[in-house]
Structure 1
Amino acid sequence: MEEKTVEMITKLVMEAMNQKSTNEGFAVPVGVSARHIHLTKEDVETLFGKGYELTKKKELMGGQYAANELVTIVGIKLRAIENVRILGPVRKASQVEISATDSIKLGIKAPIRESGDIKGSAPIAVVGPKGVVYLQEGCIIAKRHIHMSPADAKEAGVNNGDTVSVQVENERGTTFNHVSIRVDESFTLEMHIDTDEANAAKIATGNIVRILK
C-alpha cells in the first residue's frame, strides 16, 4: 500500500474518532439529591436547644456535610414529611430543598430555583425536638445543576453560570435541558438532580450522563 494512501486512511480514522468523541459529549457522574434542609445557627438552636451544634455524619463536596440531625417539615393543612436531613455547616439563611412530588404532598407551591435564591419562595414550618421554626420563605425545588472544578470546566468547554443540555443514554433516553454549570476549586464533578428527575429518567447515583455539544 502506498505511503500516501496509508496517511489518508490514518487521517480519516482519526477524524472519525474525534467526531465520535465530540458527539458523545463530556461525561459526568450523577448524584441524586434527596430532600434536605440548610439552617442558620439561630434556627438550629430553636429546633435543638440553646448552644446546640450540628454533628457530622458524612462529608460532602464544597465543605458541606450531611448531619446526623433530622427534622420534620410541615406545609399547609398540617401535611408533613418526617426525617428530613440537615446539611451543614450553618448558613446565613435557612432553606428547604424538596422535589415536585414533595411539594404536592405538602400542599405548597415551591418554585424551581438555584440554591440560595429564596426570595418569594414557598413558606414552610420546620419542627425539631426542642421547637418549631416558621419560614415565611425558603422552600424551593432545586434547579438541576452540575458541579465542576475549573479543570473539568476547561475540559468540558463551559464556564460558571452556563446552561447546558445533558443526555441520559439508557432505555428512557432522557434529555435534561436548562442544566446550570457551577464551577469552584472545592467541587467534585457531579450532576445533581432530585429524586423525581432520577426516577423519571431511570438513573441512580453513580450513573454517567453526557453534556451535549
Structure 2
Amino acid sequence: MMNETAIKAIVEEVVSQLAKQPSIQPRSVPIAVSARHCHLTQIDVEALFGSGYTLTHKKDLSQPGQFAANETITIVGPRGSIEKVRILGPVRKSTQVEVSATDSIKLGLKPPLRESGDIKNSAPITLVGPKGSLYKQEGLIIAQAHIHMNPSDAASFSVQNGEYVTITTTTERPIAFSKVLIRVSSRYELEMHIDTDEANASLIGKDTNGILAKIEGSS
C-alpha cells in the first residue's frame, strides 16, 4: 500500500502534467465543508418555533443571500437523535435536512445521496423545536458533492450546469472526488461544498482548494 508521501507525489505530478496542456489548464476551486443542517418552509418554522415566528440572522454564508440562522433544532431517527442542527435561511418551498453518512448511522436511517433540492422519495425524519415537533415522510438526504459557480466561472472552466467533474484536493492526504456536480447560476460564488465525512477523509481544513479536471467523455 502506498504511503501518503507517495500519493501526494503522484497527485503533484498529475497536476504538473495537466498544467502543461493549455486545453485543460487546471484551476483551483475553494472547498467549504457543509456540516449537517436543515432548510425549512415558513409553515414548518412556525410549527417548530411558534405562530408568526421568523428566522433570525446569525451570519452570512458564502453564497449571496444565504445565511446561518441563530435557530437550531433536534433531528430524530429510530436509533437516536442529533441536537443543535443549524437552520439555514431564507425559508424554502420544501423542508430538507442534509446529513453525513456517519450521522445517518447514528439516526438509524438510510438517506439517499441526492442533489440538494431533490427530496422526492428520500428518507423520513422527525424534527423537534422548542414549540413543537414534525414528522416528515421525506426530506432527509446526503448531499451530492457539488460546485457552485457563476456563468463566467463555467466558461473559464469549460463546464456547464449539470456536468460532473473530478476535484483533487491539495491537502496532506489528497483525494480525488470523481463525481462532483457543477451547479451554475448568476447568483452563485465559486465554491465546492462537501460534507464532514468527505472533509475528514482528506484532512480538509480552512482555506483548502481543489484542482478541477473534466471527466473524459463529458461535454
TM-score by length of 2: 0.86
| Partner Cα separation in structure 1 for residue 22 and residue 169 of structure 2 | 16
> 1:177 and 2:178 equivalent?
yes
- 2:101 — aligned with what? 100
Count of aligned positions: 197
- 2:164 — aligned with what? 163
Change (3 A) 1:131 1:22: same
Amino acid at match of 1:66: A
Q: Residues 125-179 of structure 1: CA distance to partner in whole angstroms, max 9, x if unpaired? A: 0000000011100000000000001111111111111100111133322100110
Q: Which runs of 5+ in 2 are unaligned?
A: 1-16, 215-219
1:202 deviates by: 0.8
CA contact (8 A) 2:48 2:133 kept: yes
CA contact (8 A) 2:168 2:212 kept: yes
Q: Which runs of 5+ in 1 are unaligned?
A: 1-15
CA contact (8 A) 1:24 1:210 kept: no
State, as a whole percentage, how many aligned pairs show the same letter. 57
Which is helix-richer, 1 or 2? 1
Q: Which moved more, 1:98-107 or 1:167-176?
A: 167-176
Change (3 A) 1:53 1:130: same
What secondary structure, in the 3-state scheme, does the structure 1 residue paired with 2:200 have? helix
Amino acid at match of 2:78: I
Change (3 A) 1:203 1:17: closer
CA contact (8 A) 2:19 2:25 kept: no
Q: Residues 110-132 of structure 1: CA distance to partner in whole angstroms, max 9, x if unpaired? A: 11000111011110000000000
- 2:67 — aligned with what? 65
1:205 deviates by: 3.5
Return the index of the structure with the highest Cα Rg.
Answer: 1
TM-score by length of 1: 0.88
| Partner Cα separation in structure 2 for residue 133 and residue 17 of structure 1 | 50
1:63 deviates by: 1.7
* CA RMSD across the alignment: 1.7
Superposed structure 1 runs of 4+ greater than 2 Å apart: 20-24
